Amino acid sequence: MTWVLFLFAFPFLEAQEVGLETLVGGGLIGLPLVVLGFLAASRCRAVSDQNNAQRAKLAILALLAGTGVGAANLGANVALAAADASIRAGLHEHLFAKPLPWERVVSVAVVEEIAFRLFLMSVVAWIAARLLNKARTVFLTALFVSAFLFAVPHLLGRSLPTHSALPALYASGVVVKSGVAGVVLGWIFWRWGLPYAIVCHFAANGLHKVFEPMLFS
pLDDT digits 0-9 by tens, 84-95 = 777 787 777 777
Report the distance separating Cα 157 and Cα 146, nearest Å: 21
CB contact set of 181 (below 8 Å; sequence gap of 6+): 69, 72, 73, 147, 150, 151, 204
Higher pLDDT, 144 or 5: 144
Picking from 25-34, 85-94, 135-144, which range would have the lowest pLDDT averaged per residue? Answer: 85-94
**In this prediction, what percent of the chain has a pLDDT beyond 90?**
57
Q: Average the pLDDT over 74-98 and give the result.
A: 79
* Confidence (pLDDT) at 87: 76
* Confidence (pLDDT) at 56: 96
Higher pLDDT, 80 or 180: 180
pLDDT over threshold 80, residue 216: no
* Confidence (pLDDT) at 163: 58
Other C-beta atoms lying within 10 Å of the C-beta of residue 175 = 18
Alpha helices in 152-193 (DSSP H): 166-191
For the chain, state the CA radius of gyration: 18
Report the distance separating Cα 181 and Cα 158, nearest Å: 18
Q: Average pLDDT of the chain?
A: 88
pLDDT over threshold 60, residue 16: no
What type of residue is 186? G
Q: Confirm if 114 and 197 have CB atoms less than 8 A apart.
A: no
Confidence tier at 165 by pLDDT (50, 70, 90): low
CA distances from residue 185 to 27, 46, 93, 160 in whole angstroms, order as listed? 24, 17, 27, 26
* Confidence (pLDDT) at 40: 96
